[in-house]
């Protein structure tokens, strides 16, 4: 039975790949995608996410906007890594879909209440939206099946400062709220945190894309081959 997933993203080259994988996987039920500021501002994230989902044939997936700035600090983005609009220099067709009326934090709470113990939340950007959701519903960690988080630097150096990873550095105050909320011992499953010691080993290069395109019977054109090497 497919696993119900909500993806919280700051799309982003790496997150665009995650969206496509989740969209195509028979083992995943993509319930919704929520957007947070990080690699680019949240509204650009939403535009990117809608376009990537439509490219992957999943324009039906709900895309919700979350908070557009960190809880306390000034927003920092990453144009030097992800390009001016977040997808390197790829040019995707404008999406026909629209952003949901629901706020990301409200969506987390509503879907977890609707399907208690079933939904896995995967966060691929800063933890701002999840922190807001926890502040609104302190029982959210027990209502979710599990939290899977891309963030942190545990056995390796940081990528933003000597000991700091990007997703945590953008909104450390939100991270503190989330770590406290999900550190309780009575959760259905312990959160799974994937830090730089994992993600820095995952490289997606043009030759990988060419091999996938060949198997799929399509061509790897400039739309997706712009970035030469991507930390996925």
State the CATH number of the domain containing residue 85. Answer: 3.90.245.10
pLDDT in tens, 141-164: 999 999 999 999 888 888 888 888
Domain tally for the chain? 1
**pLDDT per residue as tens, the chain (232 positions):** 999 999 999 998 889 989 999 998 999 999 999 999 999 999 999 999 999 999 889 999 999 999 999 999 999 998 777 777 778 877 788 889 999 999 999 999 999 999 999 999 999 999 999 999 999 999 999 999 999 999 998 888 888 888 889 999 999 999 999 999 999 999 999 999 999 989 888 887 888 777 766 766 654 455 555 544 444 4
- Report d(CA 92, CA 106) in Å as an integer: 29
CB neighbour class for 174 (10 Å; exposed up to 12, middle 13-18, buried from 19): buried
pTM for this predicted structure: 0.90
Any domain includes 90: yes
C-alpha pair distances (Å), 51 with each of 23, 48, 58: 13, 5, 10
Any domain includes 152: yes
Any domain includes 209: no
Any domain includes 126: yes
DSSP codes joined into one string, 112-138: HHHSTTTPEEEE-S-SHHHHHHHHH-T
Any domain includes 111: yes
The residue segments making up the domain with residue 78 are 3-201
CB neighbour class for 68 (10 Å; exposed up to 12, middle 13-18, buried from 19): middle
Any domain includes 218: no
pLDDT in tens, 203-214: 878 887 777 667
Any domain includes 222: no
Any domain includes 165: yes
Helix H segments across the chain?
13-24, 42-55, 79-82, 104-114, 128-136, 140-143, 166-170, 172-181, 196-199, 206-216, 222-225
Contact predicate 58/50, CB 8 Å: no
């Amino acid at each position: 039975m497919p696993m119900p997933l909500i993806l919280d993203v700051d799309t982003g080259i790496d997150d665009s790949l995650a969206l496509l994988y989740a969209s195509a996987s028979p083992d995943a039920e993509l319930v919704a995608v929520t957007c947070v500021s990080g690699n680019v501002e949240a509204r650009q994230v939403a535009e990117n996410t809608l376009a990537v989902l439509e490219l992957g044939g999943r324009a039906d997936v709900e895309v919700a906007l979350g908070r557009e700035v960190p809880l306390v600090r000034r927003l920092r983005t990453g144009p030097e890594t992800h390009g001016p609009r977040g997808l390197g220099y790829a040019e995707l067709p404008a999406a026909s879909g629209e952003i949901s009326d629901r706020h990301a934090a409200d969506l987390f709470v509503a879907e977890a209440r609707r399907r208690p113990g079933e939904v896995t939340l995967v966060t691929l950007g800063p933890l701002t939206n999840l922190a807001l959701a926890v502040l609104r519903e302190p029982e959210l960690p027990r209502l979710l099946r599990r939290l899977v988080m891309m963030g942190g630097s545990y056995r390796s150096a940081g990528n933003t400062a000597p000991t700091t990873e990007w997703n945590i550095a953008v909104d450390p105050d939100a991270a503190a709220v989330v770590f406290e909320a999900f550190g309780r011992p009575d959760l259905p499953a312990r959160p799974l945190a994937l830090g730089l010691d994992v993600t820095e080993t995952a490289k997606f290069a043009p030759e990988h894309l060419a091999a996938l395109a060949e198997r799929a019977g399509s061509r790897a054109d400039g739309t997706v081959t712009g970035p030469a090497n991507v930390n996925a």
